[in-house]
Structure formats: structure tokens, C-alpha cells
Chain A
Amino acid sequence: MTTVSEELRNVAPEKLAVEGVSKTFRTQRGHVHALDNVSLNVREGEFVCLVGPSGCGKSTLLSIIAGLESTDSGQVLADGKPVTGPGRERMVMFQESALFPWLDVLGNVLFGLKLKPNLTGKERREVALFYLKLVGLENFIHANIHELSGGMKQRVALARALAPNPRVLLMDEPFAALDALTREQLYGDIQRIWAERKKTIIFVTHNVREAVCLGDRVVLFSPHPGRIQEKFEIKLPRPRDINSVDLAKYSTEITRALKRHLKPETTEVAE
């Protein structure tokens, strides 16, 4: 666990700063306090995992950082400038791949590149092919989206998100819908790509092991209202194997902390 002062000592420049963000949703069943005064700093090139039970506001925070959702109070700074809307600098990857089914694999990766000015058609194609190769889909560029497996779809989504070369990658439980074996492959891939391409990644998950496997830091959320409870520094060498014993120690510690923060909640419900 780190403290604020420890964080300040770090020398890498700050990429993202979440400052006192609160958010309440109005639904048919009343108000949901999704985020309550959440602050978080992410350094350039850092891999941060947000962990918590469903409904703790971690996905909402990701949407706010992406600029897809507004804040009630507080703000998000990207490179020191307030985030006012979505932008190519901060790319989002969703749990549902959110691919465009009327385009083929290459078409999906080209989508964002076509919106980028100052690129010739040939350059766009080269960039798209480069990223498709990076995710291991170079033999499927003309495949139909409907023909792909869940893991392949997420690879396309990853290539599509990487192609416009964003500095920040925001991933909202991107592997939650996949089987364990495919997931493990993707853990390896995402660590490799992160190291090679020097991205800053914020990764939302409810899987503690996954968070420990991927993150430099694991940030623990608790629900109702969504708050940051603890932050853990994961000092394990990379690439990490999700089945290693050292990793299991960390995830046991974090899981205990998670349960501790959930306890008052459950007793409250029981009353």
C-alpha cells in the first residue's frame, strides 16, 4: 500500500489526474451515488488496475476519464488540460468488443485512421496491418466480424484502439467475457504491447488476480458510494504469469482488503 507522499516522490510526469470527482445517476429507482470525491493520479507509462465489486463506480470513472460521461463535481486533467469530451488521445476498449459488424476486420481497424487527417490511403493501410500483426490477426484481415471468436473480436478491438496511436488506453473489463485460456494469452499480449508501445493504461476489472497480473498499481474501490479505499503497488517482475505463487500472495492480500471494505455494506443490508 502506498501513501500520497510516496506517490508524490515519483519522478515520471503525470499523465492523468482525477481530482475530487463525484457523480450521481438518476434512475427510475432513485439516485445512485456512483462516485464520491474520487482522486487518482496516473503517471506516464503506468499500468493501473481499478478493482472492485460491480456497481462500485469503476466503469463510470473510466467513462468520465474517456470524456464519455460528465462529472457532477471535480475534474479530470489529461496532460494538465481538463477533459471535456472524448478524444483520440484516450482510447476506450469495452467489454463488448463494440466492433462495427458491417465492416470486416481491416475496415474496423481503419475506421479511426480514416478520421485522422494527413494520412494517405496507403499509410492508413500500413498502420492498420501493423497493429493487426501486433495482435496476431494478420491472417484474418478480411474476415467477417460474425465469424470471429470472442477472443479474436477483442484482439480486433485492441488493434482498432491502438491504431490511432493514443497515449492512454482505457480498458473496461475487456477480457471478462472470454474463457480462461484465451484470457491468459491476452494477458501476455497486453503486457508485451504495453511495454513495446509505451502506453499508459487504466484497466477496470472485478478480477483481483487479473489486476495483480497486469497492474503496476491496483486501486481498490468500494461501492455505495463509489470510493477509492486502498492502493497497492505490485512489485513483481514482468512478464508476469497469472499462476505464479508470488502473484497469488498479492491477490490474497487484496482480496482480504476487498472483503474488509465490503463487510459494513453486507451487515447494513442484513439489518
Chain B
Amino acid sequence: MTPQQIAERATTEPRWIRWTLIALALAFLALFVGLPLAAVFVSALSKGWAVYFAAITEPVAWAAIKLTLLTAAIAVPLNLVFGVAAAWAIAKFEFRGKQVLITLIDLPFSVSPVVSGLIYVLIFGLQGWLGPWLQDHDITIIFAVPGIVLATVFVTFPFVARELIPLMIAQGTEEEEAALTLGASGWQTFWRVTVPNIKWGLLYGVILCNARAMGEFGAVSVVSGHIRGLTNTMTLHVEILYNEYQTAAAFAVASLLTLLALVTLAAKSAVEWRVRQQLKAARHSHDEDLLT
């Protein structure tokens, strides 16, 4: 045995243990991820392509798809702005209550989506705090599109902020200060220095935020009212179809959500790689400083 082989032996498990662990992991993956994923598409196409397309293109399904896209189109930009603002404040400034803010940002992650939905019913619903006032002014939020958007915004607001905070803390403020002394205004510094610096992290956060916005079920279910063609999102539409034993149609719509998930995953891993490179670069230059 060469010294290298001996060293290897000392730090790795015997071959049969390695193979068993790998096989176990793969079997789990196949059983709990691969199989259901395949099942979605098999069931969706069980009655042929014609039924598949009919299920997707019927007006009610189409309305649900449009509502889902609309919700994401409002929620994602809102949370993009909020996320950048929150991360900026947390990474670049010292202020009282910073820890409280960080904890609050995580709230939607720790609270059950059903509770998130109920919060809005309690505030904006007919029996809620603002209910009577809203009714007097002919504004409906609960069991209508605004409620769905609000609930989605709430559920998805940590994604962008959470992604940016560690990145912006690692990067520090020196590059921005350099830009300011070079004659850049605050606005120019933001667009020419901050944005290029965080763009990959930002994109990553937006992808995750979008996936959740389109896939949210619990919170949206509480505030939606399930009015077909009006307040049903894709996830709610899938549930209704399934409850009506229209399995093939339910899976057809579900397959669209699954495709979205797959696209998200692919985009996520591509961006994730870039973010890791960037964080490493930022931390690396930081470490070099600490050594001196």
C-alpha cells in the first residue's frame, strides 16, 4: 500500500458502507421524489393528450392560470423592492431593533400558512377590524383578488430579503464609499455598484419567491372563497378538480405546477452556483484583511 492509500483508509469508510449509504439515499429519492413526480405526468396523460389539453384550456382552468400569474406578477416585484430595502437597512446601518426586524422578516417562514390567511380575514373580512369600513366604501378584499395577492405577498416576503442579507453583510460598504468619492450620486451608486454586486443573490431570491408565490396553497385557500373562474388559483383549482374525482384534469393542471417547479430548480441551481462564487469572493477578500 502506498502512503496515500493508507491515508485514504484512515479518513474514509470501507467501500461496502459507502455503497450501502449511496444506495439507501437513491432508493429514498426514487420512492419519495422520483415516483410521485413521474406519477403526476403519467396520471395527467392517462386519458390522452386531448383530455390533457382540454383540462388546461377550459375557461375555468385558464382563469386560474391567469390569476396565479397575476398574483405572482404583483407579489414578486413588491417583495423584490421590500427585500432590497430591508437587506440594505440591515446590512449597511446600525439601528435599534435590528434583531427584531430580522426576526419579523422570518415570521412567514415559521407561521402556518393557514394562520397567515386567517390574519387577513381577521383584518379585512366582513367581521374583521376594517370590515365595516371597507363595506361602506364598497371595497372587497377577502374572497377576492386583493386578498389573494395580500396573502401571497405575506407568505413570500422573506425570500428576497433572506437571500440578500448575508450577501450584503459580507460585501460591506467600501465599494459604495469608493463610488461616492469617485463622484457618484447615491442613486448612481445604487445602480452601478450595489445592483451589480447583488444581482445573482437577487435573482436567486426572486426565483424562490416566484415559485412560492405560484405554488402557495394554505394562505390563499383561506382568503380565496373558491369562486370558480374568479378567485381560484392553480393550486386551488387542482384541489377542486381532485375533490370532484376528475383525476386526469387535476393532474394535468398539477403537471403545469410541477413543470414550474422543475424550471425553478434548474434556474435555481444555475444561479446558486454563481451566488456561492460571489459569497466566496466576498468572504475571501474579507479574510485577507483579517490576516493583517
Contact = CB atoms under 8 A, between A and B. Distances in A.
Given A150-B288, A177-B288, A98 B174 contact: yes
B289 A95 contact: yes
Contacts of A67: 181
Contacts of A68: 177, 180-181
A202 to B, nearest CB: 13
A176 B174 contact: no
A66 interface: yes
A195 B192 CA distance: 33
Instruction: Report which residue of B174, B183, B289, B291 has the largest number of chain A beta carbons within 10 angstroms of its beta carbon.
Output: B183
A27 B94 contact: yes
B84 to A, nearest CB: 18
A269 B94 CA distance: 28
A86 B184 CA distance: 9
B127 interface: no
Contact of A115 (B172, B188, B289): B188
B256 interface: no
Nearest to B184: A115
A138 interface: no
Nearest to A85: B180
B291 to A, nearest CB: 8
Interface in B112-126: none
Given A27-B94, A96-B174, A98-B175, A164 B182 contact: yes
Interface string B13-52: 0000000000000000000000000000000000000000
B288 A94 contact: no
Contact of B182 (A94, A101, A115): A115
B181 A100 contact: no
A71 to B, nearest CB: 17
A146 B183 contact: no
Contacts of A86: 177, 180-181
A177 B181 contact: no
B136 to A, nearest CB: 47
B57 interface: no
B281 A92 contact: no
Interface string A156-188: 010011001000000000001100000000000
11 contacts: A26-B94, A66-B177, A91-B182, A92-B178, A94-B178, A98-B177, A100-B179, A102-B196, A116-B183, A176-B292, A177-B291
Given A26-B94, A164-B183, 16 more contacts: A27-B94, A67-B181, A86-B177, A92-B177, A92-B181, A96-B174, A96-B285, A96-B286, A96-B289, A98-B174, A100-B175, A100-B179, A111-B182, A112-B182, A115-B182, A160-B178
Interface of A: 26-27, 66-68, 85-88, 90-92, 94-96, 98-102, 111-112, 115-116, 146, 150, 157, 160-161, 164, 176-177
Interface of B: 94, 172, 174-175, 177-184, 188, 192-193, 196-197, 281, 285-286, 288-289, 291-292
